[in-house]
Amino acid sequence: MSTDFIKYILYGTCILFLFVVIAYLIIRRQLKKSDAMKIQQLRVNTKQSSFSPSVLYQKLYVLYIRIPVVKRYMLKLRRRLEIMCIDDEYLTRKQTAAIMTKALVIVILVTLVILMTTSNNFLLLSILLIFEIMLIETVMEGMVDKIDNKILKQQVDMFAELRHSYHEYNMVEEAIYDVAQKDEMEVSRQAEKIYEILISSDPETELEKYYDIAPNSYLKEFAGVSYLTKEFGDRKSDQDGASLYLKNVNNITQEMQIEILKRDKLDYVFQSLSVIAALPILFIEPLKSWAVSQFAFTDQFYSGKIGLIMQIAIIMITFICYILIRKLKDNGGVDSRKAFNENPWQEKIYKTKIGKKIFDLFIPKKGTAEYRKINKLLKDTASKQKMEWFYINRVVITVLTFIVSIVLMFQLHRTAIDYVYTEPTADYNVLGQMSEQDMQKAMDITLQDNYFLEILKARDNVTIETVRNELVRSDYYEDATEEELDEDSERIFDKYKIVTTESLQWFEILIATVFAVMGYYAPVWFAMFQMKMRQMDMENEVMQFQTIILMLMKIERVNVEIILEWLERYSNIFKEPITKCVNNFESGGWEALEELKNDVTFPQFIRIIESLQQAVEKIPIVSAFDELDTEREYYQEKRKQSNEKLLSRKGLIGKAIGFAPMVCLFVGYLIAPLMVIGLTSMTDTFSTMSTMM
């Protein structure tokens, strides 16, 4: 390549570079004169950072929904959050993914702890990993309850703003719309939904639909009162001339404030009980390792059959107490039944021909005493389970309990046999561990005993004399004394009996059957426990009825039937008898109320029914319930005291249940074995000393 050619290339490159620079300067000057620079500046100022939690959660939602196991929990969680995020798909996905991410982080950390502490115990490891399934649901429910409590607190602020807007517009729907547009809160979506209902062409039908998806009963009350006020108009109070609508909103606010205090106290009482109830199962293996390291003689307890039985017992007690704590802590938050799955796995099984034939053998016939008993129990617990689903659960739990019991029986026998073949054969000291030399000597004795066990297992009708004769013929006991032969023969014969007799026995099948029967009745017992807990809330529900009646009785055109429909809508414990009364009301109001009075036994509710009977035939509703208005403050104070008593009773029961697994762990798994084995060792030592003397 010539020198001139290179010079031409360099000159051309320089000229091209100069041309590019000139063009850049010209274009830049033109951009400054146009709006392009302004647009670019706006993009810089409004550009989102590279990391966005909202976008991340949207991507995680798409990822989680593709994972088979996680998808089940995602859909279950989504159904509950959809109630609070009305028609907001973006927020629903964000909250669902956020809660699932937090739950998975907690579960992964707990899983790592379990793997590190129980890696040598496959049975305990499997049970603990299964136990984590419950942990996932508990974590998710707790996070959903926090969102529900947040909405409840936002409602108090929203109603305070509503008062000012109502004074300004003097129209219910306009005041609600104004409040909904002011704040970007979760409750604002509920206000927008209520506004859309009020301005719709058929608000009554839309209102009934909203009652099924409202996050809490207070929003239902607010929506209902707003609808009645819009339809029949507002009126002034006879006492102070205040707006009746605003007084009703104030009554709802007071109810919410009482409920918020109740939930906060309930969360405070139970905030650590669930953890305390579940924590002992994580300390089973560490406690065992510590006890064996400090007291070597306890290894014969922890590594044997009795130790495994104690482990299983502690796990079962923890499992039961954990469920009871969850039932006891129920604070009336977002009810999962509102998002109830209409086609669960029970329904899918029952739809099959074989499943229907099998489970119909267990489901009682309609009209029988058993059917009425279970049906009443399901209604008392406000469960939406069908009778078929309930009995499918009972049968499945029974079968699983029997299978698990048999598997555990086999595992107990296997543990006892493995202990004979693997554990060092030596007399343990009370404190400390054996030295490496003593450990090696003990293991040599175990291997020597295993040699004779293999020989004896091939023979029939083995006696202690057979064992002694086999020892005499072996090379191991050429120089052994008669005392050593007798002692070792007895030890090997005891091991032989364990190895040959540790198999499934008939009484163990009977025990597994008893456990299966207990599993069959377990759902009934849990339902009865839940019913007892709900009965503690009876007084609280009746006081809520009084508030509803107080709001409705001064609204024109409101009659007893409308009041009963409202009570049915917000009832929980008394829902079944009130529904029956509403259905029979057209046949005769007084007679239907009389039948309702016979169906219930709670005195305060009976007083309400008697007042409703008077309002049917004799006096106006305002006169029948005049004491509610005059004694409003008294009923509020009484309700606060009732909540205090309820929380106190629940707290005492919760503490007893929550600390039961911890007590069983330390007393039954640590202190009792130390005392029993220690006393036994001391007795043997004193006996030996007495013989030597």
pLDDT tens for residues 265-316? 888 878 778 778 878 877 887 888 888 777 777 777 777 778 888 888 888 8
How do residues 382-415 score in pLDDT, each as one tens digit? 677 788 888 888 999 999 999 988 988 888 888 7
The structure tokens listed for 272 are 């650590």
* DSSP one-letter string for 273-339: HHHHHHGGGGGHHHHHHHHHHHBGGGHHHHTSHHHHHHHHHHHHHHHHHHHHHHHHH--S-S-GGGG
- Amino acid letter for position 89: E
Instruction: Answer yes or no: is pLDDT of 323 > 50.
Output: yes
Give the model's confidence band at 183: pLDDT under 50 very low, under 70 low, under 90 confident, else very high.
low
Residue 33 pLDDT: 52
Answer yes or no: is 52 within a domain: no
CA 502, 506, 512 angle in degrees (round to 5)?
95
Encoded tokens for 166: 């109502």
Same domain, yes or no: 160 and 187: yes
Does residue 103 surpass a pLDDT of 80? yes
The domain total for the chain is 3
Three-class SS state of 243 = strand
Residue 24: band (very low, low, confident or very high) from pLDDT cuts 50, 70, 90:
low
Cα–Cα dist 469/635, whole Å? 89
Q: What pLDDT is attached to residue 343?
A: 61
Select the more confidently predicted residue: 531 or 184. 531
pLDDT digits (tens, 9 = 90+) for 89-101: 788 888 888 888 8
pLDDT reading at 39 higher than 50: no
Q: What is the pLDDT of residues 424-454, one digit of tens each?
A: 776 554 445 566 777 777 777 888 888 878 8
**Is 487 within the bounds of a domain?**
yes
Among 84-98, 503-517, 582-596, 652-666, the minimum mean pLDDT is found in: 84-98
Phi-psi region of 332 (alpha: psi -120 to 50; beta: other; left: phi over 0): left
Please state, in angstroms and rounded to a whole number, the distance separating the CA atoms of residues 432 and 438: 13
225-245: per-residue pLDDT in tens?
888 888 878 877 656 667 888
Q: If you average pLDDT over residues 325-333, what whole number do you get?
A: 67
Q: 494 with 563, same domain? A: no
Answer yes or no: is pLDDT of 335 > 50: no
Task: Give the number of other CB atoms < 10 A from CB of residue 274.
Answer: 21
Residue 36 located in a structural domain: no
Structure token digits, residue 603? 């005195």
539 pLDDT above the threshold of 80: no
Q: Check pLDDT > 80 for residue 50.
A: no
pLDDT at residue 517, as a whole number: 92
Q: How confident is the model at residue 1 (pLDDT cuts 50, 70, 90)?
A: very low
Looking at the chain, the whole-number percentage of residues with pLDDT higher than 90 is: 2
Q: Are 77 and 99 in contact, with CB atoms under 8 Å apart? A: yes
- Return the structure tokens found at 454: 């293999």
- 429 with 576, same domain? no
pLDDT of 588 strictly over 60 = yes
C-alpha span between 516 and 400 (Å, rounded): 8
In a domain, 679, yes or no: no
Average pLDDT over residues 495-507: 81
3-state secondary structure of 432: strand
On whether the CB atoms of residues 612 and 624 are closer than 8 A, the answer is yes
Same domain for 639 and 541? yes
Are residues 252 and 400 both part of a single domain?
no
Check whether residue 177 and residue 211 sit in a common domain.
yes
Look up the domain containing 194 and give its range: 67-270
Q: Identify whether residues 84 and 222 lie together within a single domain.
A: yes
Q: Is the dihedral of CA 487, 493, 499, 502 positive or negative?
A: negative
Per-residue confidence (pLDDT) for residue 525, from 0 to 100: 87
Residue 243's DSSP bridge partners are: 236
Same domain, residue pair 171 and 233: yes
Same domain, 97 and 201: yes
Pick the last residue of a domain from 497, 521, 545.
Answer: 521
634 shares its domain with 581: yes
Residue 363 burial (C-beta neighbours within 10 Å; 0-12, 13-18, 19+) = buried
Check the CA dihedral 437-439-445-448 and report its sign: negative
Which among 308, 507, 313 has a CA at the least distance from the CA of 411? 308
| Whether this model's pTM surpasses 0.75 | no
Cβ pair 97, 61 in contact under 8 A: yes
In the prediction, which pLDDT does 430 show?
A: 45
- The percent of residues in the chain predicted with pLDDT above 70, rounded, is 83
Question: Is 660 part of a structural domain of the chain?
Answer: no
Is 47 part of a structural domain of the chain?
A: no
pLDDT bucket at 507, cuts 50 / 70 / 90: confident
- Which two structure tokens, joined as six digits, stand for 357? 């034939």
CA–centroid distance for 589 within its chain? 42
DSSP per residue over 98-122, as a string?
HHHHHHHHHHHHHHHHHHHHSTT-H
Distance of CA 528 to the CA centre of its chain: 18
Task: With beta carbons less than 8 A apart as the criterion, state whether 621 and 553 touch.
Answer: yes
Q: How far apart are CA 457 and CA 455, in angstroms?
A: 6
Does residue 46 sit in helix, strand or coil? helix
Name the domain boundary from 521, 556, 576. 521
Beta bridge partners of 295: 432
> Is 669 within the bounds of a domain?
no
Average pLDDT over residues 134-156: 80
Band (pLDDT 50/70/90 cuts) for residue 18 is low
266 and 220 belong to one structural domain? yes
Under a CB-based contact definition with an 8 Å cutoff, are residues 195 and 232 in contact?
Answer: no
* CA–CA separation, 183 and 158 (whole Å): 9
Mean pLDDT of 682-687: 66
Residue 7 has pLDDT above 60, yes or no: no
Alpha carbon distance 532, 523 (integer Å): 14
Give the type of residue at 528. Answer: M
Cα–Cα dist 502/497, whole Å: 8
Q: C-alpha angle 593/596/600, rounded to 5°?
A: 145
- Asked if the model's pLDDT at residue 540 lies above 80, the reply is no
Segment 196-207 shows an average pLDDT of 87
**CA-closest candidate to residue 249, choices 270, 225, 281, 282:** 225
d(CA 229, CA 104) in angstroms, rounded, equals: 47
- Neighbour count for residue 356 (Cβ, 10 Å): 13
The domain boundary, picked from 465, 488, 521, lies at: 521
Displacement of CA 482 from its chain's centroid (Å): 64
pLDDT of res. 333: 44
Residue whose token pair is 């790592």: 112
52-90 pLDDT, tens digit per residue, is 777 888 888 888 888 887 888 788 788 777 777 776 778
**Is the residue at 675 inside a domain?**
no
- Amino acid 136: pLDDT: 75
What does the alpha-carbon distance between residue 503 and residue 481 come to, in Å, rounded to a whole number? 35
Q: What is the mean pLDDT of the chain?
A: 78
pLDDT band at 148 (very low <50, low <70, confident <90, very high): confident
> 34-38, 377-381, 486-490, 503-507 — which is least confidently predicted?
34-38
Helix/strand/coil for 364: coil
Q: Please indicate, yes or no, whether residues 571 and 504 belong to a single structural domain of this protein.
A: no
Q: Which two tokens stand for residue 313?
A: 């017992």
